[in-house]
Amino acid sequence: MHTTVDITELLQYGERVTFKKGDCLATSIAGESNGDIFILSSGICALSSISLDGKETTYLYFKREQFVGFTSLMTTFNLNYYGKKTFSIIAKTPCVAYRISNRSFQELLGFPSITALMVNTLTENLVYLMEHFHSSKNEPALVQFSRFLMDQAEQEPSGELLLDTVFTYQEIASYLGMHSVTIARMVKALREEGLIDKVGHQIRIINPQKMTNLITEEQKIDY
């Protein structure tokens, strides 16, 4: 675990491909995965599923320099795939990625440094998913939303904490399992309290300390 390779060194094994917003990079239907592994170079992808009644649920976001895809390992488990659940990886913005065929990827996994990197990636995804699941089961909507903002907002060169424009109210609603109207109401409440404002269509966090207090102390704000 001491010698992990930098993921950018692996780009040479891949073929550069671009995706438009809404493109599907990979799918896994009832445990059978198709397609290759990608290293995301720029853009944002989401791991999501569509339920029988058409509702999209987003589990994880992938940002630059991450492995993206379903490994063929998944098919060997003793898990009952009733009902043909489909998980997909969808480009939420235009993306640049490097495609590595499943076969080449299996060969790369013969190198300890690459396997170590894969252990890191999988652990990271597992932790994010546990955190997301925990939050969705146990926390009030406003705490969930505040946590989402603090986790996803990125620091600009100017020091400002800005949320990517990909995170529309509808997109946030899919991730938090809420209605987009609820998201809009929470945005309004947080703006009125002076914790966030909007720059065009982007949410900007203007008081990160108070946002953190909302999460840790589950402070009540009416919305």
**Cα(23)–Cα(94) distance, integer angstroms:** 9
Q: How far is the CB of 188 from a copy of itself (least distance, A)?
A: 23
C-alpha distances in angstroms, 11 versus 41, 94, 112, 114?
9, 18, 17, 12
Given candidates 6, 20, 52, 159, which one binds a copy of itself under the rule CB under 8 A?
A: 52
Given candidates 24, 79, 181, 199, which one binds a copy of itself under the rule CB under 8 A?
A: 79
Contact status: 49 vs a copy of itself (CB under 8 A): yes
Given candidates 13, 17, 23, 59, which one binds a copy of itself under the rule CB under 8 A?
A: 59
- Specify the residue, 110 or 200, whose C-beta has the smaller distance to a copy of itself: 110
**Cα(71)–Cα(198) distance, integer angstroms:** 39
Strand ranges across the sheet with 154-155: 154-155, 161-162, 202-205, 196-199
Contact status: 127 vs a copy of itself (CB under 8 A): yes
Dihedral in degrees, nearest 10, Cα atoms 196, 156, 152, 52:
100
Q: How far is the CB of 165 from a copy of itself (least distance, A)?
A: 21
**Cα(46)–Cα(11) distance, integer angstroms:** 21
Given candidates 27, 93, 104, 115, which one binds a copy of itself under the rule CB under 8 A?
A: 115
Contact status: 134 vs a copy of itself (CB under 8 A): yes
